[in-house]
Amino acid sequence: MARPAHPQAMQPVKPGRTRTAPPTMPPQFPMTGRYRAYTLFDATGFLYLFVGFVALRVVWALGTGSAAWANIQQQLANPLYIGFHVITLAAVCFVAVRFFGLFPKAQPPRIGPLKPPPGPVIVGMLYAAWIGITVLMSAALMGGIS
């Protein structure tokens, strides 16, 4: 069942000649149908906020001294932190995949004298770049690239 929205949510600047129906929320909102993906996409922002707080905490510990740095490393080894980071990784992948699907639709019809490549080619290039950067960053973090 649709629930009523805020009465002034869609009020026109000046009153019209005829009355309009009061705005109502769609019955699928917020977690049914196509709204689920939109709601989950928006909810990833909270994860990014918490990751930012964790990053600030890590940087603060790094600047405080070696004892604080060892303490924060021990805290980050907690399974709750590891689970949080796994969920955040899944959220980042979810947002990236949605972005990659949207990217071909946002291309102009012409890029100078050339036409852009077909949508699947653009998406394939984005995934190739993503995989390549991931491999390079993983190699650098494991000490393979100095």
Q: What pLDDT score was predicted for residue 1?
A: 53
Q: What pLDDT score was predicted for residue 76?
A: 95
Residue 114: strand pairing partners: 111
Question: From the first residue on, what is the mean pLDDT of each consecutive set of 10 residues in the chain (146 residues)?
Answer: 71 74 80 86 94 96 93 95 95 90 82 85 91 93 82
Give the separation between CA 67 and CA 61, rounded to whole angstroms. 9
Q: What pLDDT score was predicted for residue 29?
A: 81
Helix axes 66-76, 35-64, angle to 10 degrees: 150
| Measured CA angle at 128 (ends 127, 129), to 5 deg | 90
SS3 label, residue 4 = strand
The residue assigned the tokens 């990217």 is 103
Q: Name the pTM for this structure.
A: 0.69
Return the CATH architecture of domain 24-106: Up-down Bundle (1.20)
Q: What pLDDT score was predicted for residue 2?
A: 66
Those residues with Cβ within 8 angstroms of residue 128's Cβ, 6 or more apart along the chain or in another chain: none
CB contact at 8 A, 100 and 127: yes
